[in-house]
Amino acid sequence: MRQTIVVLSLASAGLWSQGCYEPVVGDDYVLGLKEQLGGIVRNESQRHKVLFSKGTGDGFMLTFPEAENAVTTAVNILRSVRAANEKLPEARSIHLRMGVHLGQINIDSQGDRIGTAANFAARIEAAKLDQLKGAEDLANVQL
């Protein structure tokens, strides 16, 4: 089944101290950000015909029937997060990483979405910006 997949997660910028894994703002605050992001993701993805949604720990995986649905949802999530961040100091704002990819989605026996499209979306989501700058063909970028 050909679908567009969106993978997004909370980025660590502003939430973790430099060089260590101790949260600067605390686990409860990060959980609150995740719940706030979850509300935004649910609202936007339902408006644009999400086919599948699941939490991924610090983020979400979503699939859509058409690329336009996925990209519109992604843009609206970013706009909603930006609006929410206007009320917060930088160190406590929501920072996101996001990857979008169109391709074959396979459904495993537990109903999860797997396959190359899911892997590419996750790799794009995890990539550093300098890895993607100037790339004409993202499928051939070494991530």
Dump pLDDT digits (tens) for 80-130. 989 988 988 877 788 888 888 888 888 899 988 888 888 888 887 777 656
- For 100, half-sphere exposure in the C-beta direction (CA atoms, 13 angstrom radius) is 14
Provide the pLDDT for residue 143. 47
Chain position carrying tokens 């997004």: 8
Provide the pLDDT for residue 83. 93
Provide the pLDDT for residue 73. 93
Helix H, strand E, coil C: the string for 43-80 is HHHHHCCCCEEEECCCEEEEEECCHHHHHHHHHHHHHH
Residue 70, pLDDT above cutoff 50: yes
- The whole-number average pLDDT for the span 127-142 is 57
Predicted confidence (pLDDT) per residue in 2-37, tens digit: 777 777 776 644 444 444 445 566 778 778 888 888
Whats the size of the chain, residue-wise?
A: 143
Provide the pLDDT for residue 96. 82
- Rounded distance between C-alpha atoms, residue 23 and residue 107, angstroms: 35
Confidence of residue 76 (pLDDT cuts 50, 70, 90): very high
Q: For residue 35, give the 3-state DSSP assignment.
A: helix
Confidence of residue 50 (pLDDT cuts 50, 70, 90): very high
Confidence of residue 42 (pLDDT cuts 50, 70, 90): very high
Provide the pLDDT for residue 100. 86
